[in-house]
Amino acid sequence: MKIVVPIMPKSLKEIAQLSSEKYQGADLIEWRADFLPISDLELAARKIKDKFPDHPIIFTFRTEDKDEQFLSGADYARLIDKFASEFAYIDIEVLRFPEVSIPQNAIASYHDFDQIPENLPEILDKMQARHPKVVKFAGMPQNKRDVLRLMSETLTFSEKHPDQIVVTMAMGEHGKVTRLVGDSFGSSWTFAAVDATSAPGQLSLTEMRQVQHII
């Protein structure tokens, strides 16, 4: 299971202060570009690539949980089109912006910060129908049964689409187990933190590597 570590710099100065050595144990870097002004992204992209020359990088501009970052469909599409070829992967909120074209390196993503929705299989199928490189879902379980349901439905989906990279996780304390053993149920990646977490329940990169050696 590959480990993705997010970075969330809020300024060009913070990018310069990033220590790439801290991220040597990561398989991929996710750049959360939504923490920067859009006007800074072109310069920031060059600096991020210079900072992590040996890591595949995911470009992510999250709007689902950030009202202040809401973009029109046209503006979001232009952002995706501009940066898709610059990075190994580009995260796209395909259900929120269905009009956006899907490049070959797309991560079709959907996040639910309140629940693990009952129609999760339908959500996964809708994303997979766009033929992305990766299908990604993260949700907030209310109890342990929600976690079991997520893992079961991930396994069913991965068996139905054996050639599709799928990444799922449950957030929060209940969901920590999905970050540790997700690959046993068909999830190919997990997310860990170095300095700041980008979602509730993330473990540190060091903890994730220790767990991988154990299990």
Question: Any idea which residues carry the catalytic annotation?
Answer: 111, 136
- The Cα–Cα gap between 15 and 22 comes to 14
Measured in degrees and rounded to the nearest 5, phi and psi for residue 90 equal: -135, 125
- The Cα–Cα gap between 68 and 48 comes to 23
- The Cα–Cα gap between 36 and 68 comes to 12
Report H helices in 110-171.
120-128, 144-160
Q: CA Rg, the chain, in Å?
A: 16
Strands in the chain per DSSP E: 2-7, 28-32, 57-60, 89-92, 106-112, 134-139, 165-170, 189-193, 203-204
Q: Whose structure tokens read 């079709």?
A: 108
